[in-house]
Structure 1
Amino acid sequence: MTSQQLQNAIIGAIRQQVPEGKNLADEIAGVLSLSKNGVYKRINGTTPLSLEDIAILSQHYRLPIDKILYPKAGGFQAEFSGFASKSSSFQYLDILENEIAALKDETDVQTWYVTVGLPDFYCFYFDSLTIFQSYIWERMVWGNGEWQKKNFKLDISEKENILTKTRRLVNHYSHIGTTQIWNEYVLDNTLRQLLYIAESQLYDDENDLMLVCKDIGNLIEHLSEMAFAEKHFKPNGTPPCNAAKFSLLYNNTMQNNIFIFMKNKKRKEVYSILNTPNFIKTSDPEITDYIEGVLDGILKRAFPLGQQGEKYRQVYFGKLRARLRFYTEKIKAALSQQNSVII
């Protein structure tokens, strides 16, 4: 690769990231603190990019320089949220909010969410589910030492701060239109975690566990209402006129996929969940094209659960209710057994 080819590739990679309606030269001029004329000379190749220019642009736009230099090397560049040091749910929620807040203003983005586990955003609709998820993250995902000594309970000192952040996060997320593809086991991971807490006696008050079960039931009913309305909206409400799209499809043959695929006219991005709730994010063309192909295959075997899918919707949410009843009985049995031992 010649120096001119490298410069063209760098400018091309930046061009893909510049929002529609914004001027490429203005963007680069602001980053490099150069005059517009100086930037135009770099764009057309009259003036070569200096090593300092390349370093600044690479850091600002997170350019995959290795991929640009060696396009056929077989690797790809990605960001991993797990590398960011987190000592609490607050820090993770801040990372998540930064990602979601940036997306909600991009009106031309199409988003598909493929998952075999319930997206955390919907747990945030109910306080008990939010606190339960925070406990799972702190104790079982991040291994926070302080939380290893704590049992699960809903009344925690961090409660209001966590709920404030998650409510703001839900507000951002509700402005993002999505097409989601789930299987019938999306609740199982959360329900198994509840059962584990019950069987391991990692709780202070069994009523807290039963309230989480009850709110999972409330969430199922609300998700059914959203699927019918094909809109995002909060429980006990109605979709506002500007509500974002919520298109839910059912595919029970897909593998254990959990990813978000996003695209607009200029770029594609993939978020892949790794060690929930952490995620890998990449815009590498080979990866995004591959995932788009995977998505196409999943969509071909998916059934819509919206207004045109009344039969499938009734069957699907009936299965979710059955899964909840099954696990609720197992949780009650575990609690009853422990109570009999205590007596």
Structure 2
Amino acid sequence: MNPATSQSLFFQHLKSHVPPHKALVEEVAELLGISTDSAYRRIRGEKPLDLGELQQLAAHYKVSLDQLLNLQSDAVLFTGKPVASSPVTLESWLTHMLGQLQLMNSFGKRHLYYLLKDIPPFYHFQIPELAEFKMFFWMKSILHYDSLKGVRFRFGDPQYDAGHALCQRIVALYHEMPTTEIWNAESVNSTLRQIEFYHEAGAFASADDARLLYEKLAELLESIEYQAEIGVKCILKQPNSNRLPYRLFVNELILGDNTLLVELNDIRLTYLNHSVLHFLGTRDEGFNDFMFANMDNLMKKSTLVSGVGEKERNQFFNAIRQNIQQRAKTL
């Protein structure tokens, strides 16, 4: 393959990284500090890229040069935000999540696949009490805010105001995406353990706070059950205006790991969860083909309970409700 052809293929690959509402030539011109005419000549392969330009474009779009040069390598390129030199705050984490969802929703054809270990935060964010508890838990126990040492959780604290605003925007964007989720009955357990731990540690300002959280969690599960029943994305039983499809599978053998797979037009992405809150993403075609094949296999070995399977759906959600009720009785 001659250099001009390789360069043209490189730009074709870059085009898949550019949101549909943006023009590749304008982005290239801006990144390289050149005219649009010069950018066009590079894109068409009429003018060769120098190594500095190649490095700049590859770094900006997070493209693997191994893949570009057809090098045989077992390496898979992942990208992710957190670095040790830049401590993550709750607001920066939520803002990053918002940005990812905005990017996904900029594509006409899109679908999100979620292999759950925990109830997705998009659901907790729908109920203020659960959202505040999760924000407190993340800030205190995961992000280690010094300001929360020795501080008890209380509802309605002004420190959650900025988070609430971001959470509502995140919820709205999540419900603009057709979604497939694979659940296990244990997917609720991490939230239950967090409530139980904080209660036993005396970290609630009121003795009734844990009871209220159990009640709100049961309310949330009822809403998710309704969403599964009608097979349409909902926010607290209010269907999306576009009635976007929602599929819920139950797998009794496999507890997921919070892996996210996304289809955006002809692009596939995989997001792997790490360090509780964070994700690493890749566009590597071979890796994504493997992950999507694995997800497809899991769905085939799971029970679809959205839209159909009323008996199985009732059994699944009743088991989770009983689990919540049993925890509440121990208070």
TM-score by length of 1: 0.87
Please give the secondary structure, in 2, of the residue aligned with 1:185. helix
Structure 1 runs, 4 residues or longer, greater than 6 Å off:
none
Which digits, 9 at most, give the CA deviation of each residue in 1:313-343, with x for residues without a partner?
111111111121222223x1xxxxxxxxxxx
- Distance, in Å, in 1 between the alignment partners of 2:241 and 2:121 is 25
**8 A Cα contact 2:135 2:160, kept in partner:** no
Indicate how the Cα distance of structure 1 residues 23 and 279 shifts in structure 2: closer, same or farther if over 3 A, else same.
Answer: closer
- 1:296 equivalent to 2:296? Answer yes
Pairing of 1:95-106 with structure 2 (within 5 A): 95-106=96-107
Pairing of 1:57-76 with structure 2 (within 5 A): 57-69=57-69, 71-76=71-76
Pairing of 1:113-128 with structure 2 (within 5 A): 113-128=114-129
Pairing of 1:77-88 with structure 2 (within 5 A): 77-83=77-83, 85-88=86-89
Indicate how the Cα distance of structure 1 residues 130 and 227 shifts in structure 2: closer, same or farther if over 3 A, else same.
Answer: same
- Distance, in Å, in 2 between the alignment partners of 1:134 and 1:241 is 29
Aligned-residue sequence identity (percent) comes to: 21
Partner of 1:161: 162
Please give the secondary structure, in 1, of the residue aligned with 2:115. strand
Pairing of 1:1-343 with structure 2 (within 5 A): 7-8=7-8, 10-19=10-19, 24-69=24-69, 71-83=71-83, 85-235=86-236, 237-330=237-330, 332=331
Indicate how the Cα distance of structure 1 residues 303 and 151 shifts in structure 2: closer, same or farther if over 3 A, else same.
Answer: same
Which digits, 9 at most, give the CA deviation of each residue in 1:67-119, with x for residues without a partner?
43463221111122332834532221111111112212322012211112100
Q: For residue 5 of structure 1, report the CA deviation from its aligned partner.
A: 6.9
Q: For residue 300 of structure 1, report the CA deviation from its aligned partner.
A: 0.6
| More divergent stretch after superposition (142-151 vs 238-247) | 238-247
**8 A Cα contact 1:248 1:304, kept in partner:** yes
**8 A Cα contact 1:86 1:92, kept in partner:** no
| Structure 1 unaligned blocks of 5 or more | 333-343
Indicate how the Cα distance of structure 1 residues 43 and 88 shifts in structure 2: closer, same or farther if over 3 A, else same.
Answer: closer
Please give the secondary structure, in 2, of the residue aligned with 1:206. coil
The aligned length equals: 330
Please give the secondary structure, in 1, of the residue aligned with 2:187. coil
- Distance, in Å, in 2 between the alignment partners of 1:158 and 1:281 is 30
**8 A Cα contact 2:62 2:79, kept in partner:** no
Which digits, 9 at most, give the CA deviation of each residue in 1:286-326, with x for residues without a partner?
22112112101111111111222211111111111112122
| More divergent stretch after superposition (245-254 vs 210-219) | 245-254
**8 A Cα contact 1:175 1:243, kept in partner:** no
| More divergent stretch after superposition (58-67 vs 179-188) | 58-67
- Distance, in Å, in 2 between the alignment partners of 1:68 and 1:225 is 47
Partner of 1:341: none
Which digits, 9 at most, give the CA deviation of each residue in 1:198-220, with x for residues without a partner?
12222221211111111001011
Q: For residue 66 of structure 1, report the CA deviation from its aligned partner.
A: 4.3
Please give the secondary structure, in 2, of the residue aligned with 1:252. coil
Q: For residue 57 of structure 1, report the CA deviation from its aligned partner.
A: 1.5
Give the partner amino acid of 1:56: Q
**8 A Cα contact 1:67 1:77, kept in partner:** no
Indicate how the Cα distance of structure 1 residues 171 and 131 shifts in structure 2: closer, same or farther if over 3 A, else same.
Answer: same
Indicate how the Cα distance of structure 1 residues 114 and 22 shifts in structure 2: closer, same or farther if over 3 A, else same.
Answer: same
| Structure 2 unaligned blocks of 5 or more | none
Indicate how the Cα distance of structure 1 residues 329 and 71 shifts in structure 2: closer, same or farther if over 3 A, else same.
Answer: farther
Indicate how the Cα distance of structure 1 residues 244 and 83 shifts in structure 2: closer, same or farther if over 3 A, else same.
Answer: farther
Give the partner amino acid of 2:145: N
Q: For residue 280 of structure 1, report the CA deviation from its aligned partner.
A: 1.2
Which digits, 9 at most, give the CA deviation of each residue in 1:12-57, with x for residues without a partner?
4213324458665455345434445433432343321023321331
